[in-house]
Structure 1
Amino acid sequence: MRDLIQANYEERLSRYATLLHGTEPPGLAAKLGVYAQLLRQREIHGDRLWKIEPMLYPLMLSAETDLHLATARLLEDPRRAEGSVFAFLNFCRTNRENILWKAGTPPAEVIEAQVAALESHRPTINAIMGRRDRFFAHLDKKYFLRPGQVYDDYPLEGAAVIALVNAVIKVISEHQWSLKESANFHVAGFFEIGVENMVRNLEAGRRQNYPGQLD
C-alpha cells in the first residue's frame, strides 16, 4: 500500500515538473518568461514598443492568454480535475503518512502552508477562471456582444499573474527538493533573455530600415 502511494506521488510530481519546465511544448515557466519580459519591455518603452514592431502588441496579448489558460489548467477546482495542483495537495494531505521525503514523512504544516500560499492568490485565480470559462473556452452572449467587457468584469494585473505562477512553481519545486534534494532549473530566465534580445534586434532593424520612425 505504502509503495503504491509513494509511486503515485512521485509520478504526479514528475508530470507537474514536465508541465512546468518542459520546452517541447513550452511549459508554464517558459510561458511565464515570455510574458514577464514582454511586460517589462512595455514598461521600458511604453507605447513606443508598438512602433519598434506593431506585431508585439498582439503577441503580448497572445502570450497573456496562453499563460492564463496554462495556469487555469493547473488550478482547477480539485473536485473537477485530478490534475489540479490543489488535488495533488489534497492527495498529499490524505496520504501524508505513506509518503516519504528525504527527511521523512512530509510535515502536515508544510502541506497546509503550501495550500495557504496558493489560496492567498484566490482573487487572481478567480479572475483567470472567469475569463477562461466565460470568454476563452465558452463565449457568453454578454461577451459576444461586448468582448472587451470581460477585462472589466475580471480585472487582472500582470504582476499578480506572475506572482501566482511563481507560487505554483515554488510549491512543486519544494516537493521536488524535499523528495530528492534536487529540482528543475527555473527556465523562465532563458526565455526572458530571448525576448529581450528579440526586442533589441527589432529596434536595431527598425532604425536601420526605417530611419526616423522611432525618433
Structure 2
Amino acid sequence: MKNLIQANYEERLNSYAGLIHGNAPPGLVAKLAIYSSLIENCSKRSDKLWEIEPLLDPLIRSVEVDLHLATAKLLEDPRRSDRSIFAFLDFCMKNRSHITWKSGTPPESLVQQQLNDLEANRGTIAAIMARRDKFFAHLDKKYFANPKGIYTDYPLDQSAVIKLVNCVINIISEHQSSLGGAVNFHLGEFYEIGVDNMIRNLEAGRRVNFPNQLDNS
C-alpha cells in the first residue's frame, strides 16, 4: 500500500510540475512571467504603451484570461475534480504516513499551512472561477447581454491574481524540493526579458516608421 501511495503521489506531483514549470506548452510559470512583465510595462508606460502598439491592449487581456483559466484548472473544487491542488493536498494530509520525503514524512503543519495559504486567497479564487464559469468557458444569460458586467460583478486586482499564482507555484515547488531536493528548471526570467525586448523593438520600429509620433503625443 505504501508503495502505491508513494507512486501515486509522485505521479501527481510530476503532472503538476509539468503544468506549472512546462515550456511546451507553456506552464503557469511562463504564463505568469509574460503577464507580470506586460502589466509592469503597462504601469511604467501608461497610455504610451498603446501608442507604441495598439494591439498590446487586447494582447494583455488575452494573456490575462489565459492565466485565469490555467489557474482555475488547478484550483477546482475537489468535489468537481480529484486532480485539483486542493484534492492533492487533502490526499497528502490523509496519506502522510505513507509518503516519504528526503527528510521523512510531510509534516502535517506544513500541508495545513499550504491549505491555509490557498484559503487566504479565497476571494481571488472565487472571482476567477466565477469569470470562468459564467463567461470565459460558459455563457451565462446575464453576461451574454452585458459582457462588461462580468468585470464589475467579479472584480479582480492584478496583484491579487499574481499573488495567488505565486502561491500555487510555491506549493508545488516546495513538494518537489522536499521530495527530491530539486525543482524543475523553468524559463520564467527569459519570458520576462522576451516581453521587455518585444516592447522595446516595437517602440524602435514605431519611431523608425512613424518619426516623431511618440514624441508628439
Task: Name the TM-score, length of structure 2 as normaliser.
Answer: 0.98
- In the alignment, residue 178 of structure 1 is paired with which amino acid? S
**What is the CA distance between 1:187 and its match in structure 2?**
2.7
Counterpart of 2:117, as a letter, is: A
Could you tell me how far apart the structure 2 residues matched to 1:186 and 1:149 are? Answer: 37
- Alpha-carbon deviation of 1:83? 1.4
Aligned equivalent of 2:35: 35
SS state at 1:185 partner: coil
Displacement of 1:138 in angstroms is: 1.0
Indicate the percent of aligned positions where both proteins have the same amino acid.
61
Alignment correspondent of 1:198:
198
What does the per-residue CA deviation read over 1:116-154, in whole Å, with 9 as the maximum and x for residues that have no partner?
A: 011110000000000000001111111111100100001
* Counterpart mapping for 1:166-185 below 5 A: 166-185=166-185
Aligned twin of 1:139? 139
* Mapped partners of 1:186, 1:165: distance in 2: 15
Q: 2:82 maps to which residue? A: 82
Q: Distance in 1 between matches of 2:203 and 2:174?
A: 40
Say how many residue pairs are matched: 215
Residue 186 of structure 1: how far off its partner (Å): 4.4
Distance 1:47 1:139 in 2: 31
Contiguous gaps of at least 5 residues in structure 1: none
Displacement of 1:212 in angstroms is 1.4
Residue number in structure 2 paired with 1:151: 151
CA shift, 1:104, in A, is: 0.4
Q: Which residue of 2 aligns with 1:128?
A: 128
Q: CA deviation at 1:163?
A: 0.5
Per-residue CA shift, 1:142-191, capped at 9, x if unaligned? 11111001000010011110010000000000000100011123432211
Residue correspondence of structure 1 range 56-67 to structure 2 within 5 A: 56-67=56-67
**TM-score by structure 1 length?**
0.98
CA shift at 1:52, angstroms?
A: 0.2
Q: Is the 8 A contact 2:22 2:186 kept in 1?
A: no
Corresponding residue number in structure 1 for 2:13: 13
Secondary structure class of the residue paired with 1:33: helix
Quote the RMSD (CA, aligned, Å).
0.7
Aligned equivalent of 2:113: 113
